[in-house]
A and B are shown apart, each in its own frame.
Chain A
């Protein structure tokens, strides 16, 4: 059974600082997603990572994937308050019918303080 673990689960940081969220998963997968969720809202797709060594950047967020280590990171550079949200990583787990069920981590609740 695929397990996805995020670390940390809660993070409070100051504006302007850098930090990294880690996502470990237990079995081989060929797709990893990062999502953002604001309170009471749905999930917004941030990144899709497909191959070992993949790196994607959008604004102050950068995601990377190491499939050998089964590890993805989401790095935040010079954080701003607007990035406060819960961040989820999700890993593709293929079912018997070939379905693309995503297994999500528990999420990292990020608070960025002025």
Chain B
């Protein structure tokens, strides 16, 4: 069990560019979540997958954001036409999908949009 893995750890991009992040959950976990955290704030829920199905999206997830989990294993989060306001830590979490259980978080991808 290597935990939730995210790649890259840091990403610096220019405004208007597209970026993609990857999350590999704990292998037997069928639920996968994306959160965003800005400095001094708690994480904000973005979206959630049960296996390959994207079941919930926050209103924070504008049409420039898209997430996929094609085979029910790893997931990608893409941001198109990045804006400076997108600068944040993007956290991925996974869980077994059972009641009353913990979410395990990855180390995050720190995005800086210049």
Q: Are B42 and A107 in contact (CB under 8 A)?
A: yes
Residues of A within 8 A of B102 (CB): 33, 45, 48
- Chain B residues within 8 Å of chain A by Cβ, number: 25
Residues of A within 8 A of B105 (CB): 35, 42-44
The residue that B43 contacts in the complex, of A43, A45, A93, A97, with Cβ under 8 A, is: A43
Residues of B within 8 A of A106 (CB): 40-42
Residues of B within 8 A of A95 (CB): 48, 55-56
Q: Are A42 and B56 in contact (CB under 8 A)?
A: no
CB contact under 8 A between A98 and B55, given known A41-B107, A42-B108, A43-B91:
yes
Residues of B within 8 A of A107 (CB): 40-42
**Contact string, A83-109, partner B, CB cutoff 8 A, digits 1/0?**
000001010010111111111111100
Query: B104 near A: Cβ within 8 Å?
Result: yes
Shortest Cβ distance from B53 into A: residue:
A97
Within 8 A of B (CB), among A1-50: 4, 31, 33, 35, 41-45, 48, 50
Alpha-carbon separation in the docked complex, A87 to B28 (Å): 28
Residues of B within 8 A of A101 (CB): 33, 45, 48, 56, 58
Q: Are A97 and B56 in contact (CB under 8 A)?
A: yes
CB contact under 8 A between A42 and B91, given known A97-B55, A98-B55:
yes
| A58 CB, nearest partner CB in chain B, Å | 13
CB contact under 8 A between A31 and B100, given known A96-B56, A99-B55:
yes
Shortest Cβ distance from B42 into A: residue:
A104
Q: Are A105 and B42 in contact (CB under 8 A)?
A: yes
Alpha-carbon separation in the docked complex, A107 to B41 (Å): 7
Query: B77 near A: Cβ within 8 Å?
Result: no
Residues of B within 8 A of A93 (CB): 45
Query: B22 near A: Cβ within 8 Å?
Result: no
Which 4 A/B pairs are nearest by Cβ-Cβ distance? Answer: A104-B42, A99-B56, A101-B45, A97-B55
Additional A-B contact list (8), CB under 8 Å, known A43-B43, A101-B33: A41-B107, A42-B107, A43-B93, A45-B103, A48-B100, A48-B102, A99-B48, A104-B42
Chain B contacts to A: CB under 8 angstroms: 31, 33, 35, 40-45, 48, 55-56, 58, 91, 93, 95, 100-108
